[in-house]
Each structure stands twice: as structure tokens, then as C-alpha cells.
Amino acid sequence: MLARTRTFTLEGLQTRPVNVEVDIRAGLPGFAIVGLADPSVREARERVQAAILNSGYEFPARRITVNLAPGDIPKIGPGLDLALACAILAASQQLPKEPLEGHALFGELALDGALRACQGTLAVAQGCVEAGLPALVLAPARAREAALVQGLRVAPATTLRAVARVLGGGDADPLPEPSEPEPEPGGADAPVGPDLGDVRGQHHAVRALVIAAAGGHNCLLSGSPGTGKTMLAQRLPSILPPLSRPEAIEVTRIHSIAGQCDGGLARGRPFRAPHHSITTAGLVGGARRGWVGEVVLAHRGVLFLDELSEFAKPALEALRQPLEDGRVAIVRAKHSALYPARFQLLAATNPCPCGYSGERELCRCSEADLARHRRKLSGPLLDRIDLQAALENAGPQGLGARPWTSSVRARERVLQARERQEHRLRGEPVALNAHLDARLLARHARLDEPGERLLCEAQARGTLSARGQHRALRVARTIADLGGRERIDPRDIAVALALRTGVGPRASRAA
Amino acid sequence: MDAVQTLRRGDPGYPPALATRPGAPTTLRVLGGHERLARLLHEPAVAIAGSERPSDYGLQIAASLARGLAAAGVTVLGAFADGIAAAAHEGALEIDGPTVALMAAGPDRVQPARRRGLHARILQHGCALALQPPGVPWRPWHATVRARTLAALAALTVIVEADQTAGDLLVADAAQELERPLAAVPGRVTSPVSRATNALIAGGAPLVRGPADVLDLLHGVDGPARADNVTTASPLPSSLPKRLLAVLERVGAGQDTPGRLTRPGQDPAETLAALAELELMGLLARGDGGRYVPRQSLPDG
């Protein structure tokens, strides 16, 4: 007998529809799976057999052939278990065949017949809609993800027997309660994460962070140990605009595939802070099929590199492409794929290897150490960082200094600045000041005479390259937006210039 | 001009300042041509020396001294070394002023190797003197030989910053031993790297605040036309707006970060803008960890 069920496999961040075809005939008992099944799928043989038996069904002692079509796509993951089991049951006439055409099946089977949720649930749900399948049967644990997709009937089922009931027209099991109340993303709710008001003093660095948030600029924080760089960096997400609904779904999908989703819609922008021992593959992905790098997990959010100089140079080099294009291409022998990776880069560094640059009495670094440290920080990465801010050692007020602002107030200003940008850049290919190239700068960041003169002076002094000029203009544009001004004042340029250099140790010392 | 020319004591090109000193090196290897060397050493020259790990203040003052001297047509001498010496060479080179660099080891050993660029630029208008034969690697005592040669060659040696260590005081000790004129730049009494320079001043060495003081010592107070030359090198426009002057002075007084400069209630953007303008005018430089440092001493009030 022949039966067919519908399911999906994951390929990178995409899903591919899979038809599970089962043929049962007389012959020596056997159970063969063909169709480029990877080891986790081939192990389904044991799981499916035990689950079917323990659910009270019969396992046909005949020759069973399972084909996972199409035959040229690798099938991965234990999520195909359910479709396999149902196809076998249908082919041995223990389940009706008609409902199987309209239901997609996705889930891993436990040996006792219980259904387990798998990574990538949201992506599979979206795949169902694309493939025109009206219903999806899956485990309850991650069913909330699937429920986010419009136009799909989600039918959770706890066991194989429950699946049979659903397919027979019965009721589905209930969706699990959400772990936290879900606010509507995009709405004006409270900022997520630690508050900017926790930061005492450091007004200039806080201001720089607000500018970075408003324009989407990459930012480098420098300072001796203990000045609060990490603390400040962790507060960036709280002043970024909330995710729009499409963005939230995009982020949830990525995190669901990577197994990082807690079952609900993503709240707050992703904030990824990998340790500096991370490898290139860990950062951009590609180690094995389905491995998603940190840059992709940071899509629509922030990638924070603490102790920038401690990261391996190849890893930092690999960031070049995503910073440039907002995507990362993974090319392997058997497959290649493009992953979205549009994130804001935030980095922190010590001014010198021992961390105390400037405190002559405390700094133990030799010239060679300093030169090496500076070299690490230079190059294509620094080129793409528009803003640099130094955190100072606690002044006489220490922890008694007042905070510059709170997350609520800062986010308010950021949102207003973003609105201005959106309005100005409508119809353009970019939406943020940080992504303005030379052509767009000429169109949207015009300077009047005093401003031009200031920039020319800087260039004449030899300290400002063309790239540096563009950086200064982008930042100045954002500063003007934060101030509610369409016109860029010369003072905005001056402040932008002040926020651009001076993080390396003894930058004034000629190399 | 890559050719190394050898000058022996007694050769016509051998610097006269050294020829009369007992214990002067018998052989000098010259990069840049001995005619140029002779021209550069024809008039009294000034050596600028000090710690190889100075503070930003020291670096800026060394550079500003060298700039001022070069503008006045005085040749600047220095070891080819990190720190004060390198800053002095850079300072003079900023206005294409000629300097003479003393290399401790052989003429083929550009050390520190990191400063090869500086070496090449020095040779564009100046000279380099190596005190050891080609192929000889660095040995610790080469620094002492160089210090003595430097002190002997210069009409005046200015120590900008030095701690009480043998290394920092090599040139000062040599100058005192050879009874050559020595001057020093004062610094904070709380700064380790001004310990020795302040001690020298306390012990009677003349105090140097800027290029004008050096020229005074060199030529005597009635020196020729020094005022004009010095002002071209120190571009402090008399029309500097009060707000910028105020920031400049406060930076010099030690409020060297935006955080310290901004008073509570003041708009931080104003401070940053003023700092940027001063930096563009060449009156401020960036130093350690984003701090600002003045590029020259204050003019006389």
C-alpha cells in the first residue's frame, strides 16, 4: 500500500517542503529510508517503530520503503518523525489517507509516542502558508511560534494518538499559556532591558550612545577597566526603537531555527555579546549545516564585541562583509546560502593592553605592546565605526554624579530622530543615516558655507580622509536630527569630529 | 641617498664640535651626505632628549620645542629613539626642519624598526649618524656612547622629561660629566616622569618653557630676530575667541577630558565643539585614551 504525508526540512534559514512517500508490500520485513536522509532522520526508524507500537498501533512486519522527496535535497532533523509515522500508519490502513493532503506534520517522536517540538517551528509554519497547506499539526511546546503566522490553522497534539484524533476531525490540544504577557510589538510600551539612568556621570559617552542609537551608527567605547563600558553597552537595546511586527517575526524565525527561541514573539532587539575567544565560524556561521553565526542572531539588533583587541584577526576580518552588505554568504562544498545580518556594531576596548593608558604610573606597556594593540584595532573594522567615545575614570563625584538621562527619555529622542530620517529618506534604498553613502550624503546632508569651511580645514590639516569626512557628515546629520533641525550647524560638524578619533594609546605619538 | 660615508677624526668633514673633545668617536658613519652634515652643524645646534616613555605633555613640549627651533633655523639633534627624541624629530619635520639623528648601533640597524618611516623622513632634509660599524647589532653600552656624543655635539642639551633612572638620564649625566650646557623643562612635582627634570632645575639647570627660552640660552637675550621666527612657529592667533582660549587654558591646567571640562548644566556639545575647533587649529592634540593635550606652552601673559 502507498501513502503520502507532507512535512518540511530546514536548509539554512529556509524551509523546503518534503513529501514522505511510504510503500508497504509483501516480502522480508525491512524498513528502508531513502532520499538523502541525514543521520538524525535515519535514526527515525527506531523512534517511529517504538512510538507506533507504544501508541497501541501495529507495526507492519512487511517490507517498508520510505522515500523522502524530492531526492536531491538533504533531509535533516528529527522533525520528520511524525510525518514518517503517519505515512506508515496510513499505508497500513490504520489512519485515513484523505486528511493527510491538507495537513502538514512536524515533530519528533518520543519512544512512548509523545510528540516533541523541534527547532524552526516558525519557519515551518511560514513554509506551510507558502506551500498552500491550510493546517499544521505539531507539538504544543513551540506551537505559539506557529500561531504567529497568519492564515494557518495550528493544531497542537501531545501524542501520536492525539494526532490521529486531529486528523480524524477531532479537536486539537490547547496551546500552552505564554510565559509572559505578550505586548503588541511596535507599540509604545516600556523600554526593554537595563536602564540608561543607571549610568552615573560619563555624560559624553552616554550622549554618544544616544547618537549611535538614533542614526544606527557603529560605535566604539574605550576606557580603562572599570569605567563602565560593558554596563553602558548593555543599555543600548533599551533606547533602540522597538521591533516592528514583520521585524519581530523575522527575528523570531531566526532564533527559532537556531534553537534560541522561548516560544513567543521576540521582544526587544537582539543583543549578542560573544566572548572574544569565538572563532570565525562561530561569528559568521558555516561550521556545519544549520549553524547560525552570531552576526545572524544579531540581525535587527546589536552585536557587542567586548575587549575588541582580544578577538582573533580573522574573525574580525569576517565581519567586513556583513557590515558592508547586511548579509553574510556561507559557501561550503555542498551548499551555499545567504543569511541576513543587518546589525549595529558596538565595541569596547582598553586604550592599551594593560588597560591603564594615560595613567603613566600604572601603564606597564612597552612601545611594542602599544604598537601591536593599535594595529589590532585598525583596519577595515575601525573604518566602519562612525563614533568613538572615551569613558573617563570616575571624577571627584564618583558614583554620586548624576545620570545624564533615562532610557525612556533617550528613546523618545531616538524615535523622533528616526522619524525625521524616515521622512527624509523615503524612496531611498536606505533608512538610516549610518548607511548614507557619498551620493546620498550629497543629497541629504548638505552643509552651508561655515560648515564646508570647517570640513575643508580639517582636510587641509591632513587629519581627515575622504572616508573620515563622510563619517563626520553622517554623524553630524544624526546630531542635527536629534536636535530637531533640518539644517546641519557647523557646531554639529565640530562635535562629530570630536567624536571620531583618539582611542588608540598615545594617538598623538607618531608611529 | 643611501650611501654611508665614513668620517674619521681628522677628516675635513668631521664635526669640529667633536674634534676638540677627548674621547669622541674615532669614526662616524654618515647617512645623508657629509656636506649636508657640515652645513647643519655649522651653527650651534640644540639636542632635545629625555625619557623613552614620556607623558603626552612631554611629547607635545618636545615637539613644540623642536618646531620652534627649526623655525628659527636652529638644527635639532636627537637620538634615534622612542619617546622625547622621536617627538623632537617629528616636531621639526612638521615644518620640514632639518634634524640630525644619532643611531646607537650600525648604520644598517634602524632601531626601533617600527620607526623606519621616521628614519626615512629625517634623511630627506637631515642626516643620521651611526656610531658603530655596519653589521654591528645593538648592545646596551651603545646607548652610553651615543649619549656622550650627543651631549658633546650640541651647544645646548634640553631634557624635557626624565625619571630618576639611568636610562632616562643618560644624556643628562653625559652632559654634566662633559660639562656641557644643560637645561630642563619643568613638570608636575607629582609626575614621576618629571622627577629628574625638576631635580636638575632645583640643582641649578636653567628652566625652559618654550622655544624662546632655548633661543635665549643659545644666543643670549639680544639674539638676532628671534621673536619673529618664534611666533611663526607658534600659531596662537591673538584673535582667539575667549571661549576657545578658556578651554585651551583649562586643558593645560589638567582638565583634559570632555567630562572634566563640561560644567554641570553646561551643554556638552559646546565643549566638544570647542575642543574640535582647537584641535583643527593645531593648538590641541589627542593623547592617551582620548585625552587632550596642548601642543605648546602658554605664551607669556
Residue A397: CB partners within 8 Å, gap ≥ 6?
A: A200, A201
Average pLDDT taken over every residue of chain B:
88
Which residues from B are below 8 Å from A when comparing CB atoms?
Answer: 52-53, 55-56, 59-60, 82, 86-87, 90, 112, 114-115, 117-118, 191-193, 257-260, 262, 264, 268-270, 272-277, 279-280, 282, 285-291, 293
How many residues make up chain B in this entry?
301
B292 to chain A: nearest residue by CA? A502
Do B62 and B298 meet the contact criterion of CB atoms below 8 Å apart?
no
Identify the pLDDT of residue A196. Answer: 86
A156 - beta bridge partners?
A: A138
Distance from CA of A419 to the nearest CA of B (A): 22
Phi-psi region of B32 (alpha: psi -120 to 50; beta: other; left: phi over 0): left
Of B59, B192, B262, the CB nearest to A508: B59
* Set of cell numbers at residue A430: 536606505
How many contacts (CB atoms, under 8 Å) link A and B?
116
Identify the pLDDT of residue B296. Answer: 86
A357/B contact by beta carbon, under 8 A: yes
A50/B contact by beta carbon, under 8 A: no
Q: Is the pLDDT of residue B232 over 60?
A: no
At A174, the amino acid letter reads P
Identify the pLDDT of residue A270. Answer: 92
* Set of cell numbers at residue A40: 538524525
Q: What is the mean pLDDT of residues B39-60?
A: 92
Identify the pLDDT of residue A289. Answer: 64
B62 to chain A: nearest residue by CA? A509
Q: How many C-beta atoms lie closer than 10 Å to residue A42's C-beta?
A: 12
Distance separating alpha carbons of residues B119 and B130, to the nearest angstrom: 12
Contact (CB<8Å) B257/A392? yes
- Which chain A residues in 441-460 lie under 8 Å from chain B, judged by CB atoms? 454, 457-458
**Pick from A337-346, B99-108, B255-264: least confident:** B255-264
A207/B contact by beta carbon, under 8 A: yes
Identify the pLDDT of residue A197. Answer: 86
Residue numbers in A near B56 (CB within 8 A): 358, 506, 508
At A336, the amino acid letter reads S
Omega cis (within 30) before B186: no
Identify the pLDDT of residue A383. Answer: 82
At A112, the amino acid letter reads D
φ, ψ dihedrals at B281, nearest 5°: -80, -5
Identify the pLDDT of residue A40. Answer: 87
Interior angle at CA A246, CA A243 and CA A250, nearest 5: 85
Distance from CA of B14 to the nearest CA of A (A): 31
Distance from CA of A189 to the nearest CA of B (A): 30
Contact (CB<8Å) B56/A505? no
Distance separating alpha carbons of residues A160 and A56, to the nearest angstrom: 10
Contact (CB<8Å) A204/B90? no
Among A159, A177, A170, A233, smallest CA distance to A387 is for A233
Rg of chain A over Cα atoms, rounded to whole angstroms, equals 28
Contact (CB<8Å) B112/A457? no
Identify the pLDDT of residue A497. Answer: 87
For A106-138, what is each residue's pLDDT tens digit? 999 999 999 999 988 999 999 999 999 999 999
* Set of cell numbers at residue A284: 559568521
Contact (CB<8Å) B280/A457? yes
Instruction: Give the residues of chain A that fall short of pLDDT 70.
Output: 179-191, 263, 287-290, 333-335, 357-362, 394-400, 462-463, 501-511
Among B87, B80, B99, B89, smallest CA distance to B61 is for B87
Omega cis (within 30) before B112: yes
Residue numbers in B near A511 (CB within 8 A): 114-115, 117
Residue numbers in A near B52 (CB within 8 A): 367
Between strands A327-331 and A336-340, the pairing is: antiparallel
Identify the pLDDT of residue B103. Answer: 93
Q: Is the pLDDT of residue B227 over 60?
A: no
For B154-190, what is each residue's pLDDT tens digit? 999 999 999 999 999 999 999 999 999 999 999 999 8
DSSP state of A391: P
Identify the pLDDT of residue A510. Answer: 29
**HEC readout, chain B:** CCCEEEEECCCCCCCHHHHCCCCCCCEEEEECCHHHHHHHCCCCCEEEECCCCCCHHHHHHHHHHHHHHHHCCCCEEEECCCCHHHHHHHHHHHCCCCEEEEECCCCCCCCCHHHHHHHHHHHHHCEEEECCCCCCCCCHHHHHHHHHHHHHHCCEEEECCCCCCCCCCHHHHHHHHCCCCEEECCCCCCCHHHHHHHHHHHCCCCECCCHHHHHHHHHCCCCCCHHHHHHHHCCCCCCCCHHHHHHHHHHHHCCCCHHHHCCCCCCHHHHHHHHHHHHHCCCEEECHHHCEEECCCCCCC
Identify the pLDDT of residue A190. Answer: 67
Identify the pLDDT of residue A181. Answer: 62
Distance from CA of B271 to the nearest CA of A (A): 8
Contact (CB<8Å) B59/A367? no
For B12-44, what is each residue's pLDDT tens digit? 889 988 888 877 888 999 999 889 999 999 999
Positive or negative CA dihedral for B170, B172, B177, B180?
A: positive
In terms of pLDDT, which residue wins out, A335 or B54?
Answer: B54
Place of cell 519557519: A123
Of A368, A392, A503, the CB nearest to B259: A392
A251/B contact by beta carbon, under 8 A: no
ipTM reported for the complex, 2 dp: 0.78
Do B277 and A453 meet the contact criterion of CB atoms below 8 Å apart?
no
Q: Is the pLDDT of residue B99 over 90?
A: yes
Best interface-test mutation with A: which of B168, B272, B283, B292 has the largest number of A CBs within 10 A?
A: B272
Identify the pLDDT of residue A287. Answer: 67
**pTM for this prediction:** 0.83
